[in-house]
Structure 1
Amino acid sequence: MTPEEAILIAKYVASVCPQQRFNEHTPDVWGDILAPYTVDDARAAVIAVAARQAFVAPAEIVTEIKARREERIELAHVVYDGNPDETGAQSAAARRALITAAADGLLPARTPAAALGTADRLALPPGEPGPYTNRVAAIRAAVGQATPTAREGVVNPRAIGCRVCQALPGVSCDAGGRRMRDVHPGRLEDAKRQAAGLPPIDPDEARAAEDRIRAASAAALAQHDTTEEPS
């Protein structure tokens, strides 16, 4: 908040609380106390405090602002899956940036990913054209942390989507609504093929191959049962 904005907040409080006394030094002192916060947050806090009492102190404005910021963080359910190529410091900085963005109201309130089905997690906001211009990509772009991309010769399974659980690039795989520590084998295989410059495996062909393996195993087991001599 700038000194000029602090003057506006002081005048705002004077209008809301006409019985409250001010002098020429009040805006300067309030400006020092409210400097870390935005004028919009301060104005909203003034309204909230004034709605329940006759006078508004700068400390009460700060308390209200902090409560609102914590509420935004909680409602945003910030989750940062990270990037295997980044350092611990970079990961920590990216997570702090996401939390700050949530506190500033830049991230929308959302249901925790663990409680969402695949269709909900993959739903795109209206007007977004493609599968990767979604909320995850928009959030990371807003904080300077782009969605990880695959690099030639480097096996990074989280840089591509998962054909098993439909997780997006940069997002961990999940099983039964719970985030996995590792990725699905199919995603790892796809990442290896992409790093080697090979085309991705066709999901239909992969399923057909799995069906053939299961059928062959079942046939071998049945043949073993019929040829086994009785004891």
Structure 2
Amino acid sequence: MIKTEAAALCRYLQACCPQQKFDQFTSDAWFDLLADMPFGLAKLAAQRVASRQPFVSPSEIIATAKAMRKAVDPHITRLLDETEGAAPADPDADWIAWCKARRERVAYLVDLAIATKAATFGDELVEQVTAVDADRLPLEPKPQLPIVDRKADIVQITERTGRSA
């Protein structure tokens, strides 16, 4: 989120909650607290909070956004496993890099699914995700790597050399 988006979020909340006080420094303070959250996600979380209560704080927006992310995460992970393949069967030296890249991709797609409303939440609970529209997400099938069967390789080597393992 950038400062102009934080100001837009404050103006949006001022319209949603007319009794809540905002001044010229409110958007700066809210930017400091919500800077690492995408604007679309912050606005949807603020909308959820404002629909339940007359006042909205940044901590409630953060808590609601976390709950939304937590609810969507398993669905996105499952979609990625189905389209791009699950974790490599044979972890190698790049295992940590693969895990980090996968976690970043899941986090990006979770935020995208929420911001583009590809994720459908239950009416009452933010924690309840009823559906995720995979067609609205940039999922790219990746070629499957060949499965390495080390036991079969050892058996073949021992048969060729005549030595037991």
Higher helix share: 2
Please name the residue that 1:64 is paired with.
Answer: 64
* 1-structure distance, mates of 2:32, 2:2: 9
Is the 8 Å Cα contact of residues 89 and 147 (structure 2) preserved in structure 1? Answer: no
- Give the structure with higher Rg (CA): 1
CA RMSD in angstroms, aligned pairs only: 3.2
Higher relative contact order (CA 8 A, sep 6+): 2
Please name the residue that 1:81 is paired with.
Answer: 87
Q: CA deviation at 1:47?
A: 1.1
Q: Determine if the alignment matches structure 1 residue 97 to structure 2 residue 97.
A: no
* 1-structure distance, mates of 2:36, 2:6: 11
* 2-structure distance, mates of 1:91, 1:83: 12
The TM-score normalised by the length of structure 1 is: 0.47
Please name the residue that 1:192 is paired with.
Answer: none
* 2-structure distance, mates of 1:27, 1:101: 25
Please name the residue that 1:2 is paired with.
Answer: 2
Tell me how many residue pairs correspond in the alignment.
Answer: 127
Identity over aligned residues, as a percent?
28
Tell me, which stretches of 5 or more residues in structure 2 are unaligned? 120-133, 154-165
Q: CA deviation at 1:6?
A: 0.3
Q: CA deviation at 1:72?
A: 0.9
- Residue 88 of structure 2 aligns with an amino acid whose one-letter code is G
Which SS does the other structure have where 2:70 is aligned? helix
Tell me, which stretches of 5 or more residues in structure 1 are unaligned? 110-124, 127-134, 150-155, 159-181, 189-231
* 2-structure distance, mates of 1:97, 1:89: 12
- Residue 74 of structure 2 aligns with an amino acid whose one-letter code is E
Is the 8 Å Cα contact of residues 17 and 50 (structure 1) preserved in structure 2? Answer: yes
Q: CA deviation at 1:75?
A: 2.4
